Amino acid sequence: MIEEHVWQELTDRLEKAERIVITTHVNPDGDAIGSEVAVSEILAQKGKQVHIFNHSPTPKLYDFLNVRGWIEHFDADRHEPIIQEADLVIILDISDWARLGDVGKALQRSDVYRVCIDHHIVSDQVAHLMAIDRGASCTGEIVFDLAKRTGARVSGTLAEALYTCVLTDTGSFRFTNTTPKAHRMAAELIEKGVPFLEIYERVYEQNSPGRICLLAEAIRDLHFENGGKIAWFRVTQKMLKRCNASYWETENLPEMPRSIQGVEVTIMFAETAEGFVKISLRSKGRVSVHDLANKFGGGGHPYAAGARLQGTLDEVVPVILNEAKALFR
């Protein structure tokens, strides 16, 4: 829960700032992109100058939210001067310097005042003001409260962005972070005319042939440990090339094995083009995976977490599996 003095400081900062930069984590998901768009729409209603810079390109399935074209792939030469001249930077859906990528490095070279709005377990003090609510279903839920506090008109793109946040981060209202408030938020947005069927179709029913190929490859690579309680698979750069798939199309793949009877924890090991291995951990809700991710410099939620490790798949997989097996001892 966010304390009242933090809310007051946050709204005061938004009111006074004129030039604002917004950013989020590498490989942004629906909550990250939706929160960025929602905050930018709130600020636009107040006549603020807004820029959104992200380390990673926007996944194509969320392009429908970028109606103003404000989300830009970060370029240090062009965008760092804008950060240096900003009155305020808003960091959304992440409190981890490492996962801010090149934007994070630029921010660390700047003395601009920073605000972080997030619902994850805090990893770093990335901002001067930390507005954190670990009980929120998604960062978008906090932004929804912000919209109400600032008197913003919640309609059009703002409402669609917020609905995308809660839809995607709750796994279509089936993950353990699905709270009564999450349902009330969705209901309010639907009452305001959000085209919920259209958003669901855009997010979940626009799979490319490459993503389906990647899913098939992942199923072929599926392995089980601990009597079937752990399911894991790999996504290699060769698989991505073979399927003509983009890296962002690995999103939601870790959810696939959770539907298998007896599986409690799933792990995706994905090779990045930069030579890292990204681990994505998911749990059905009886086993916490956050501490495992945190042990390797990552973070997230108790039942959905991840980390990025230096090394090859051959080096990383046995280390992580050994730690995962220890969760059941």
- Domain's final residue, options 203, 233, 256: 203
CATH at 258: 3.10.310.30
What is the rounded distance in angstroms from the CA atom of residue 52 to the CA atom of residue 160? 18
Q: For the chain, 329 residues long, give each residue's pLDDT as a single digit of tens.
A: 899 999 999 999 999 999 999 999 999 999 999 999 999 999 999 999 999 999 999 999 999 999 999 999 999 999 999 999 999 999 999 999 989 999 999 999 999 999 999 999 888 899 999 999 999 999 999 999 999 999 999 999 999 999 999 999 999 999 889 999 999 999 999 999 999 999 999 999 989 999 999 999 999 999 999 999 999 999 999 999 999 999 999 988 999 999 999 999 999 999 998 889 999 999 998 999 999 999 998 888 889 999 999 999 999 999 999 999 999 98
Within this chain, do residues 23 and 163 fall inside the same structural domain, yes or no?
Answer: yes
Regarding whether 140 and 250 lie in a shared domain, the answer is: no
Domain boundary among 184, 203, 222: 203
Residues 191 and 214 in one domain: no
What CATH number should be reported for the domain holding residue 181? 3.90.1640.10
Same domain, residue pair 182 and 243 = no
The pTM is what?
0.90
Look up tokens 């349902």; give the residue: 183
- What element of type H or E holds 145? helix 139-150
Same domain, residue pair 218 and 118: no
Does residue 14 sit in the same domain as residue 113?
yes
Token digits for 42? 């709130």
Q: Looking at the structure, tell me whether residues 31 and 47 fall in a common domain.
A: yes
Helix or strand holding residue 99 (H, E) = none
Question: What phi, psi does 163 have (nearest 5°)?
Answer: -65, -40
Name the domain boundary from 183, 203, 223: 203
Kindly state whether residues 198 and 213 are assigned to the same domain.
Answer: no
Q: How far is CA 306 from CA 33, 75, 299, in A?
A: 18, 26, 6
Number of structural domains, the chain?
Answer: 2
At residue 183, the pLDDT reads 98
Do residues 184 and 280 share a domain? no
Q: Phi and psi at residue 96, in whole multiples of 5°? A: -140, 115
Give yes or no: residues 82 and 175 share one domain: yes
Residues 79 and 109 in one domain: yes
| Domain region containing 118 | 4-203
Task: Examine the domain organization and report whether 253 and 219 are in the same domain.
Answer: yes
